[in-house]
Structure 1
Amino acid sequence: MKPVTLLAVAVTVFVVIAAITVYSRLAQFTPPQQIDVSGLPLPKWAISFGKTDAPITIIELYDLHCPFCAIAHERLDPLYRELLNSGKLRLVFLDLIVHPDALQAHQYLHCAYRQLGNKTYDLITQLYRLLAEDEVNGPGKQLELLQQYKCGDMPSKSDFDNAVNALLKALAQKGVSISQLGTPTFIIIKNGTVNVVVGADVARVISLISQ
């Protein structure tokens, strides 16, 4: 075979291999999922701050006794406040009870939300600060602070669990599957695009909501 023919064959083979490689990579690429926030099954009793039509929605699965939640909240707090004040963020706290002894604190927090409304955000910040300052005695101090708000009609553990399960099911039906849960878990919806951050990866959360 002549050198020119060999070169032509080699170039053809290279082009074919390159085309196959590019196609396989494109086939593996999954575009961001687009969903309608208003269609998600969030319970009426969920603790929510900000405008319902804000361009960014964060659903945070949280546990008041989770030290990683406390760390994440402390770092995200300034940005949360900035975005809430500017009308750019809707922040929803959905209870994911990982520490069983946190149940009563969560129930009392919902009582507080009924009484305090948007001021409950400052209370959440204070509760996490108590835990961050003293991880051993912090839960007890949280409960002491929350007892003044206790009420008769509080969400139950089943209510909390069912709300999380309903949300996960709805997301899965829309193509957003969350294989692993932990506290905190951030479900970030911006311009209809969904991203999920599990754990206190604050840098990732900031990056997603600041883009």
Structure 2
Amino acid sequence: MKDNPEILYNAIKAHPKEFLDTVNEAVELAKAEMQKQAMEEEFKNRKEPVIEEDRAIFGPKDAKITIVEYSDFQCPFCSRGYDTMKALEQKYGDKIRVIYKHLPLEMHPQAMPAAQYFEAIALQDHGKAQKFHDMVFENQQELNEKKEKFLDEAAKKVGADLAKVKKDIKTDAVNDRIKKDMAEAQKFGFSGTPGFLVNGIAVRGAVPPQHFESIIERLESDKE
């Protein structure tokens, strides 16, 4: 073959579709192997996020699976991540808990205000903060169009004291938490959103629920 490359050329010319299929299959196999190796590294080198006692938690505090999410309220990919978390909550119920952390990107001007509102509402009531979180992601287009007016409306709808929210969004308690979340995300190598830690195992991007399910199933089998 090396001495007579025309043999290969003629074979490709005679069967171009079969050749492309073979190349694509080889590429997919290589990608799958790289992803497998990357996942093995994540299992070996688990991250340890800080989970404060007073932080809003979606799910039971004693759940066996903890998903820490680094997200941006205005990011369309984070909206897909939101849908994925809801699907996992529905499937696994009390087995998982989700902890929402902030990574507002500069390209999304409403992401930081939304993060501030979320934390300010959480100071009043964690349940109301979760409802606000859900409302923002389920109405992301309204956030884009109405901006702070939408945040005010959402805060009122979940039953928060809006006057107190307006004061608290300026406090160190709210803004320091957001800054710490952003610093932690950077420390763990999350530059875009969304990013997740599943019992410390990093997942990057808006991957489908099946990816999380494979990690959760492995974590559960490792405990048996």
Q: Indicate whether the TM-score tops 0.5.
A: yes
Q: Give the secondary-structure state (helix, strand or coil) at the position aligned to 1:206.
A: helix
User: Is residue 104 of structure 1 aligned with residue 110 of structure 2?
Assistant: no
Distance 1:71 1:166 in 2: 22
Q: Give the secondary-structure state (helix, strand or coil) at the position aligned to 1:145.
A: helix
Q: TM-score, normalised by structure 2?
A: 0.60
Partner of residue 143, structure 1: 151
Q: Give the secondary-structure state (helix, strand or coil) at the position aligned to 2:138.
A: helix
Contact kept? 1:58, 1:188, Cα under 8 Å: yes
Q: Give the secondary-structure state (helix, strand or coil) at the position aligned to 2:152.
A: helix
User: Is residue 93 of structure 1 aligned with residue 104 of structure 2?
Assistant: no
Contact kept? 2:71, 2:102, Cα under 8 Å: yes
Return the letter of the residue paired with 2:98.
L
Q: Residue 32 and residue 123 in structure 1: after superposition, are their counterparts in 2 closer, same or farther (change >3 A)?
A: same
Contact kept? 2:58, 2:98, Cα under 8 Å: yes
User: Is residue 54 of structure 1 aligned with residue 63 of structure 2?
Assistant: yes
By relative contact order (CA 8 Å, sep 6+), the higher-ranking structure is 1
Distance 2:153 2:119 in 1: 13
Aligned residues: percent identity?
A: 23
Contact kept? 2:136, 2:143, Cα under 8 Å: no
User: Is residue 209 of structure 1 aligned with residue 224 of structure 2?
Assistant: no
User: Is residue 33 of structure 1 aligned with residue 44 of structure 2?
Assistant: yes
Distance 1:138 1:202 in 2: 30
1:31-57: CA deviation from partner (whole Å, max 9, x where unpaired)? 8237696xx423455331223331100
Contact kept? 2:78, 2:194, Cα under 8 Å: yes
Structure 2 spans left out of the alignment, 5+ residues:
1-39, 219-224
Contact kept? 1:42, 1:167, Cα under 8 Å: no
Distance 1:31 1:128 in 2: 29
Q: CA RMSD in A?
A: 3.2
Partner of residue 201, structure 2: 195
Distance 1:206 1:195 in 2: 13
Contact kept? 2:70, 2:101, Cα under 8 Å: yes
Distance 2:181 2:84 in 1: 27
Partner of residue 185, structure 1: 195
Structure 1 spans left out of the alignment, 5+ residues:
1-28, 170-177
Q: TM-score, normalised by structure 1?
A: 0.63
Distance 1:210 1:145 in 2: 40
Q: Residue 50 and residue 71 in structure 1: after superposition, are their counterparts in 2 closer, same or farther (change >3 A)?
A: same
Bigger proportion of residues as helix: 2
User: Is residue 161 of structure 1 aligned with residue 179 of structure 2?
Assistant: yes
Partner of residue 221, structure 2: none
